[in-house]
Structures are given as C-alpha cells and as structure tokens.
C-alpha cells in the first residue's frame, strides 16, 4: 500500500489518520478505492460529497437526468444556478470544490442491461442511490454476477433503509433478491415523486451509506452484510434486523 502522502494530503486527511481504526494505512486504502455512485440525487449528493471529502481515489457518478428546481429540496450537491444542466456535471463540480485530488468519472447515461456489467467492472464498490425498482433490480443482479459489493439505500416519506450485499465475499450473506425476490407490481409502492420525502431523511440515509462505504474500504467495524438497517424519522427509531440468505435464490444461490 502506497503510504506516500503529500503534505496537503496529510493535513487534509489528518482527522482520519488520527483514528486508530483508519490511520495512514486506512487512508491509503481509501485513496486506492474505486466507488461508483448510481444516482446523483438525494442519496447520491451526500455520498458524492463525503466520499470526495474522504479522499476516495476514483469516484464514478451515473445519472442521465438534468437538474430540476424540485430536486433542490434534498439534493444538496447541486445549486440553483445549475438547474437545467446535467446532474453528473453539477455534482462533479461540487466534489472538485471540496477535493481536487480525487479523480471523478461522470457517466451521463441511463443504466441498462447492455451497459451495466461493463460499467460496474471498473469499480470495487457500487452504491445504489436510484429511485426506481427496475434499475435497482438490474444493478443488484449485475453486482452479484460481477462480484461487486453493493451498498443499497432507499428512502420514502419519513423512513429509510440501508444494507450491504456481498455474497461473493460473505458466503452467509444474502443478495438483494434474497430480500426482495421480484420487483413489486407497478404502482403498488409509490416513489418519492408520488408520495414525497423529507429532504433531511435522504441526507441521513446517504450519509449512513457513505459511512458503510468507508467501513467496507477500510475493513473496520461491523458490516451491514446480512443486516437491514431501518430508520423511522418520525418515531426517531433505528432498528437493525437480520437478513437470511435464501439457499434457493436464483441469483446468488449458486455462489
């Protein structure tokens, strides 16, 4: 591991390096990591900002959307001036303002079955910050097939959930399909654009997601593989429930 940090890096990451669990070797792991953020929205904003600030060496951002005024209530990587411009460009500019040392790859495109495998192959850890079930399921399946760690968060109204899926590295750990075998019938589960979401709830969940990314990179603490973290903001309650691998899962059962 390259521990050759510049004076700028030593000062910039001093509060990480002070942590016994991270130190110089953990910061070197962070610098060597490649993380893909799918969705530059409510979850993707704190992910992008904290991972850039933390010094993740290469960060990819995927989103095909153009910034709308209604996004700004929660998508804090963006600014009013950027309305009408691609979200990946706006988020990348905010990340570079925080940390010009990180390499940012913008993918202004919609993920589909034809491009997902090649895209995730370039990264170690994939963050799902999308807002629709077809993309979530496609990304989750591609991560199992491509043996990539998936850290997946979701929000709606005043609630959030978070888990890590890495059945390739944790044989007892489930994949997304062990938890949700099939997408819900269209229209059954409303989206944030239909049901609303408190902006700060997306910020908390995206920040928890960024924390789990940094834990996976530095291999510290308890992984959320095999666990689902649930947060009810109105009740101010967190719960952590055990997830079991489905031995008959068509996606990860053969791993």
Closest to Zn ion by CB, 162 vs 252, is: 252
Q: In angstroms, rounded to a whole number, what is the distance separating the alpha carbons of residues 89 and 40?
A: 10
Asked whether position 142 contacts Zn ion by CB under 5 A, the answer is: no
- Find the binding residues for Zn ion in span 219-238 (CB under 5 A): none
Least distance from C-beta 247 to Zn ion, angstroms?
9
Q: In angstroms, rounded to a whole number, what is the distance separating the alpha carbons of residues 116 and 135?
A: 10
* Binding range to Zn ion, per CB under 5 A, among 5-13, 72-80, 117-125, 244-252: 244-252
- Nearest residue by C-beta to Zn ion? 249
CA-wise closest residue to 128 among 173, 83, 175: 175
Site track 37-76 with Zn ion (rule: CB under 5 A), x = hit: ----------------------------------------
Least distance from C-beta 206 to Zn ion, angstroms?
25
Q: In angstroms, rounded to a whole number, what is the distance separating the alpha carbons of residues 210 and 45?
A: 10
Closest to Zn ion by CB, 94 vs 251, is: 251
* Binding range to Zn ion, per CB under 5 A, among 21-29, 38-46, 61-69, 246-254: 246-254
Asked whether position 252 contacts Zn ion by CB under 5 A, the answer is: yes
Query: SS3 of 51, please?
Result: helix
**Beta strand residue intervals within the chain, DSSP E:** 34-38, 58-62, 103-107, 125-128, 149-156, 159-165, 227-232, 237-242
Site track 168-187 with Zn ion (rule: CB under 5 A), x = hit: -------x-xx---------
* Binding range to Zn ion, per CB under 5 A, among 59-67, 204-212, 227-235, 241-249: 241-249
Asked whether position 166 contacts Zn ion by CB under 5 A, the answer is: no
* Binding range to Zn ion, per CB under 5 A, among 44-52, 158-166, 167-175, 209-217: 167-175
Least distance from C-beta 253 to Zn ion, angstroms?
6
Do 159 and 230 touch, CB atoms closer than 8 A?
A: yes
Asked whether position 249 contacts Zn ion by CB under 5 A, the answer is: yes
Least distance from C-beta 230 to Zn ion, angstroms?
20
Least distance from C-beta 245 to Zn ion, angstroms?
6
Q: In angstroms, rounded to a whole number, what is the distance separating the alpha carbons of residues 109 and 221?
A: 35
**Beta strand residue intervals within 41-118, DSSP E:** 58-62, 103-107
Name the residues that contact Zn ion, by CB under 5 A: 175, 177-178, 249, 251-252
């Amino acid at each position: 591991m390259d521990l050759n940090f510049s004076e700028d890096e030593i000062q910039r990451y001093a509060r990480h390096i002070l942590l016994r669990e991270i130190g110089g070797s953990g910061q070197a792991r962070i610098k060597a990591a490649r993380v893909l953020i799918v969705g530059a929205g409510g979850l993707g904003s704190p992910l992008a900002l904290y991972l850039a600030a933390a010094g993740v060496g290469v960060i990819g951002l995927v989103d095909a959307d153009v910034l709308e005024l209604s996004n700004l209530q929660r998508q804090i990587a963006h600014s009013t001036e950027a309305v009408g411009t691609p979200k990946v460009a706006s988020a990348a500019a905010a990340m570079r303002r925080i940390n010009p040392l990180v390499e940012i790859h913008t993918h202004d495109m919609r993920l589909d079955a034809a491009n997902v495998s090649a895209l995730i192959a370039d990264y170690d850890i994939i963050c799902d910050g999308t807002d629709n079930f077809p993309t979530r399921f496609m990304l989750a399946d591609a991560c199992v097939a491509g043996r990539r760690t998936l850290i997946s968060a979701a929000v709606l109204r005043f609630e959030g959930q978070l888990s890590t899926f890495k059945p390739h590295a944790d044989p007892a750990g489930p994949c997304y399909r062990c938890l949700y075998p099939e997408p819900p019938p269209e229209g059954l589960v409303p989206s944030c654009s239909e049901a609303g979401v408190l902006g700060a709830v997306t910020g908390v969940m995206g920040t928890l997601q960024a924390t789990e990314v940094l834990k996976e990179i530095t291999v510290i603490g308890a992984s959320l593989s095999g666990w689902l973290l649930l947060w009810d903001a109105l009740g101010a309650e967190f719960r952590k429930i055990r997830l079991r691998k489905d031995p008959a899962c068509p996606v990860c059962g053969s791993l």
